[in-house]
Structures are given as structure tokens and as C-alpha cells.
Amino acid sequence: MTSDVPPTPGVPPTPGVPPTPGGVADGGLLAPVWAGTRVEGVTSDHAWLRAMLEAEGALARAQARAGLIPEEAAELIARTAAGLVVDVGDLARRARDSANPIVPLVSDLREAVRNAAGSESPAGDPARLVHLGATSQDIMDSAAMLVAMRAVAVIVADLDEAMRVLADLARRHRDTPMAARTLGQQAVPTTFGLKAAGWLMGLLRARDRLRALRLPAQLGGAAGTLAALTEHEALRHQGLAPARPFAESARPGIETASAAGESAALRVVSLYAEELGLAAPPVPWHAERSVVAELGSALAAAASALGKVATDIVWLAQTEVGEVAESSKGGSSAMPHKRNPALSVLVRAASLQVPAYASVLGAAGEHERAAGAWQAEWLPLRECLRLTGGAAETTAELLAGLNVFPGRMRANAELTGAMLVSERLSVHYGRDAAERILRDEGPPEVPGELLDPAGYLGAAPELVDRILTVYQSAAQQSKEDSR
């Protein structure tokens, strides 16, 4: 699948993740909506692995900035984490022993740091400072938020592109009459511009909700008390923990607890989030999962808005309707004549799956570490990101090549004759009289202008203008926010 959408501005490449995936990751064969898209690259197994290692490196750097561990040890840990090569399949198999991949990964990282340091390390044994004060969930949750942040940035960029095309469609077809359908039947006249503007409004709401997310880092230690970091700080003051000499604490770049008016442990949390580019959580959220639930809900809403566009296009592209057509080949394995709305089908299929996956996210767990509920989040969260991201990029492609046939819209609107403006006749003559007029055989004995669908558009053109104004205002605000 290709896309005319340009690279995402402002989204740095994930370390170690190729910008264009060399092959489809597991699941792509059964989910072609995201196969080959940008969201695939930032949500792959490799991308998750790199995010976990980034979290370990950021933790060490934050602890050094807070004065808890030597700077040279933090640099060694971060550098080793960035260059660590791990067989993902082997790591997954070893993860079965601990029910998460962090335990074997930390073991690998400690060994790599020990080998890199050698026996003459000025920091003693820096390997024992790897993962200091953290627990597996801290790293896994922070990595999940990193992956989500990057995927959401890609999704937002593709929604922006889809909205740009929709705004143009709404503007060009502001006054293009067509039949509105309710319960699958022709109802009253509307315009294709208003239909496109309605799609635009749905995507705009979804985009704004995704942009408003503030995904936080996670750091709480074994049970959310930061006890190990607090203890390490106490040992440091007693001269029993390897740290920067106390006299150096006033050097630029060393952010001590006293300067911030809080303990070094709490300062590490803020610095850790800063190192990762995530929001700093006021408290650990390992046992309170509204963060993940809110993310899943926002992705489900975006998928639903994309699904609305795709579903309408499927119905408008039916052979008997023919008011729009995709640019995709849409081939059939059995019928050479068919041109199926393949892109719309992919998007609609994705939109139906995301809410199901999102329903698993944020489930309540037991006490301070869930036994299954937390672990159950990982795959559904990735699928929510992948499916929504694939649907967004595919929708941008779909809309960029959409063919619109105003003549067919007008012809379809005239299929039922006066029926399409029955509401108008009721306004003029009353419902009973309108029913008699419509029952009578032959042409209705009413002024011809009352039967013209283009003359009964209500406020549709003005509504298009209103939605475009809202969109333009939001687009301008986005530009200002990005400066």
C-alpha cells in the first residue's frame, strides 16, 4: 500500500527502527489495513524493544541528574542500552518464566553493561545500577506510552491529511445536490458538500481528542512507593552508595532534590519523564489504569469516525447508486468485472475491531500489581494503535483518489420524482394534501420549482460554511501550537 501523505513532521525516528519496514510484522497478513504503513514501523516488536531499552537508559540518566548515581555509570548504561542487540523471538520465549519481557531484558542489559565496563571501571560495578529502583511494570508501561506517543503522532498527521482533502471536497461540492438517505431510503435533498463536511467534523473531533492526550511516564518501584530510590538516597547521604561527590552537587546540570524542594526519588520521576519526552505523573499509576483506558477510548473514537467515512463510501459506490468510486483496483478473485471499494472495506473492518480491543484496556487489577489485567493490555493496545493508524493512512489515500459524480447524484435524486420533496409539499399544503398530491397519477399539480431538489437544500450550504470555519480555525490553532 502506498500513500501520498508526506513524512510526519515533528516526529523523530524511533532509534533502531527503520523508517520503512522491510517486511510485514506478525499479524500483517490478517490485518492488511496497516501492512506497510508508517504506524507499522513505530509499533513493531522491534520498536517496542527499543522503547523498553530507551526507558532503561532514560532512568539511568535521570538518576545521574538527580545525583543518585555517577554520571559516567549512567552514560555507560544508556549507551549500552541504545546499542544492545536482542533476538526478539528468544526474548519472548524467555519472558514466559516471568510473564513479562522486562526481566530477561534487564538481565541481558546488566550483562552487557558489565562486559562494557570491564574490571577497571571508575564507577565500580555499574551493572548493579541498571534498573535501579524500578520494577518491570515501570519500564513496560513507560515503553508502551513511548510507542503510543509516536503512533498517535503518525495517526494525527494522517487525520490532518484526510481532513485537508475533506475540506476541499466540502468546499467544491458545497451546493452539489444529492439525496440524503435515512434508514437506507431516500429522504430529502442534501449536498455532497455537507456529507463531506460531516465526515470532516467527525475526524476533527477525533483528532483533537488524540492531540489532547498527555501520556505519562511510569515510575513507582516495586509497589508504587519509590522505596528503593528513597533508600538509595539515604545510603548516598551516608556515603554508602556510589554517587557523584557531594561537593559537585552545585555544578550546572546536577539537579538536586533541595533545589526542587522534594526528595531525590520524586525528582527522578520528573527527570525520567523529561528524558523520555512524556508527561510527568503526579503519582505512580501502575494500579490505576485510566491512562490506558482513556488512550483506548480516544483511539476507538478515531476509528469510529474513520469508519463512518468508509461505510458511507461503500454504500455510495454500489453499482445501483454509483455516486462515488474509489481509485483502488478492488479486484475480485472470482469475478473479473468487479471493482470493489477495497480501501473503504479495510477502513471499515479496522473501525469495527478497535472498540473491541479497547474494551480490554484499563481493566481493574488486584491491589498494587494486576495478575493478568495489566498483561492483557499489551497486545490490544498495539492493535488499537495499528488498526487506527492503518485506517487513518488508508482513509487519506482513499479520499485523495475519490471520484465524485455529481451528475449521478442529481439523477438519483430525481428517481422518485416528487417523493424526495414530500416534506416541502407538506410545508406548503399540509401533510394530508401532500399525500393526496403524491398519490394522484400523473404529474403533481404544483409549481415546478417546488419539485426541484436543488431548491430544497435548507441550510445545507451554510452548514458547510460553518464547519469549514471551525476547521480553518482549528488548523490555524494547530499551526500556532506547533511553532
Q: Please identify which residue in the block is written with the cell numbers 527527570.
A: 271
Residue environment code for 171-183, b if the CB has 16+ CB neighbours within 10 A, otherwise e? eebbebbbbbbee
Integer CA distances (angstroms), 381 to 26, 147, 168, 304, in order = 15, 10, 33, 16
| Contacts for 272 with CB less than 8 Å, ≥ 6 apart | 58, 59, 62, 142, 217, 219
Backbone angles phi, psi at 447, to 5 degrees: -55, 135
- C-alpha cell read off for 35: 501492512
- Nearest CA to 396 out of 167, 178, 171, 210 is that of 167
Q: Is 422 one of the annotated active-site residues of the chain?
A: no
Whole-number Å distance between alpha carbons of 32 and 331: 15
Backbone angles phi, psi at 286, to 5 degrees: -60, -30
CA dihedral 356, 48, 22, 351 (to 10 degrees): 20
Helix, strand and coil content of the chain, in percent to the nearest 5, comes to: 60, 5, 35
Q: Which of 98, 258, 290, 332 is catalytic?
A: 332
Q: Which of 128, 171, 205, 369 is catalytic?
A: 369
**Residue 370 · residue 287 · CB < 8 Å:** yes
Whole-number Å distance between alpha carbons of 159 and 391: 10
Is the Cα dihedral 138, 141, 142, 143 positive or negative? positive
| Contacts for 40 with CB less than 8 Å, ≥ 6 apart | 21, 24, 25, 28, 34, 386, 389, 390
Q: Is 171 one of the annotated active-site residues of the chain?
A: no
Catalytic site positions? 332, 369
